[in-house]
Amino acid sequence: MKLPPNPKEMWDYIDFLPIEERNNVVSLGESISPLLEAKNLEKQLGLDNLYIKDYARNTTGSFKDRPNSVGISKAKEFGIDTIVIASSGNASSSAAAYAAKGNMRCIVFVPESTPKEKLVQARVYQAEVFKVKGHYSNAFRLAMEATSKYGWYNVTTTYLNPYTVEGNKVVAYELFEQIGVPDFIFVPIGAGPLLYGTLKGFKELKMMGKIDKYPRMVGVQAARCSPIVEAFEKNQREVKGWTKEIPTIASGINDPLIGYENDGSLTLEAIYQSKGYGVKLQEEAILESIHSLAKEEGIFAEPAGAVGLGGVKQLVDKGVIKPADKVVVLVTGHGLKNIAILAQEELKLISQLTDLNNNLTIKKEE
């Protein structure tokens, strides 16, 4: 097989995806997401080649559109009429959109802490949404029980559905066309199939003789829920479920992996194979990453989508990343997906603004 010339969208890579017939593809126009050089952040961090791969530009505002397009296309190929998904928010709203496009019923299980914006998005697409008490692993368990009891097709975007995982590998093909092989790729991770899938894509490129090395994959988690990074820091090979129930603003990656710890171990192995790293961020560093992306590069990311930049800062400070290294940060979700987190902070500032009363008096910046 040959890579497509001048690819414009994900499904230009259909020969590398597990769909037999093109007329089974359920697509909302998953175009090649932009790769933006972060010139202002390069100056701040002392880097020459820092890039933002912005998956917030996808149709429903997150990277989940790629795995869901593939998974739901396969459901259509199987003749499925009902899908079920457990999600922390982005995957459910994305699955709901693709199910609507494919004329399928969509059942969604989400933890009760899921941002309202994501719930509204899923409901607008007419998904049947069930809020589950406690953390994401509880939603995962109930989706599994529903799958077994009712025979529904589960598109939960962990490692559960092999077809959705395949959708993640297109990241590697896109990056190869855009800049070749980066030295580092920073990926927000819950269970981590995006990191695993990205490395899988580069492995396939190497098998085709297109490249001779892999990027070093860096998984980034919130410190308040970091089972994979904790295992990495202890040089372990198996990930343990996270039992410390402390909320984090990065709800999109708040996955304790309880009951499916092997998913985390697969991601951890991908990090080791690529000679990569695991990094965790405190809440203040997550907020700082959101503001830095917005202020310096004009990119508005939700908390979970922004953590990659904080990971870069950590490894620059530790001397792991050198100035000439080619570094890519995956931004996985748009800021409007979780606006309440920032609204609380920004509305305080807005309330302090001077009422101009039609008299323009603005102090110059010094």
Determine contact, residues 293/287, Cβ cutoff 8 Å: no
pLDDT by residue for the chain (366 residues), tens only, comes to: 789 999 999 999 999 999 999 999 999 999 999 999 999 999 999 999 999 999 999 999 999 999 999 999 999 999 999 999 999 889 999 999 999 999 999 999 999 989 899 999 999 999 999 999 999 999 999 999 999 999 999 999 999 999 999 999 999 999 999 999 999 999 999 999 999 999 999 999 999 999 999 999 999 999 999 999 999 999 999 999 999 878 999 999 999 999 999 999 999 999 999 999 999 999 999 999 999 999 999 999 999 999 999 999 999 999 999 999 999 999 999 999 988 777 766 555 555 554 545 555 545 655
Q: In Å, what is the CA distance from 64 to each residue of 55, 58, 79, 97, 357?
A: 9, 8, 22, 11, 45
Q: Give the helix/strand (H/E) hosting 280.
A: strand 277-281
Q: Give the helix/strand (H/E) hosting 109.
A: strand 105-111
What span, in angstroms and rounded, lies between the C-alpha atoms of 82 and 143? 13
| Residue 99 pLDDT | 98
What span, in angstroms and rounded, lies between the C-alpha atoms of 85 and 95? 8
Query: Quick one: three-class SS letters along 296-351?
Result: HHCCCECHHHHHHHHHHHHHHHCCCCCCCCEEEEEECEEHHHHHHHHHHHHHHHHH
List domains and CATH numbers for the chain.
Answer: 10-61+164-344 (3.40.50.1100), 65-160 (3.40.50.1100)
Q: In Å, what is the CA distance from 40 to each residue of 82, 184, 317, 359?
A: 46, 19, 18, 34
Report the sign of the C-alpha dihedral through residues 197, 186, 337, 29, in that order. negative
Q: Which residue from 49, 44, 52 is spatially nearest to 317, judged by alpha carbons?
A: 44
pTM: 0.93
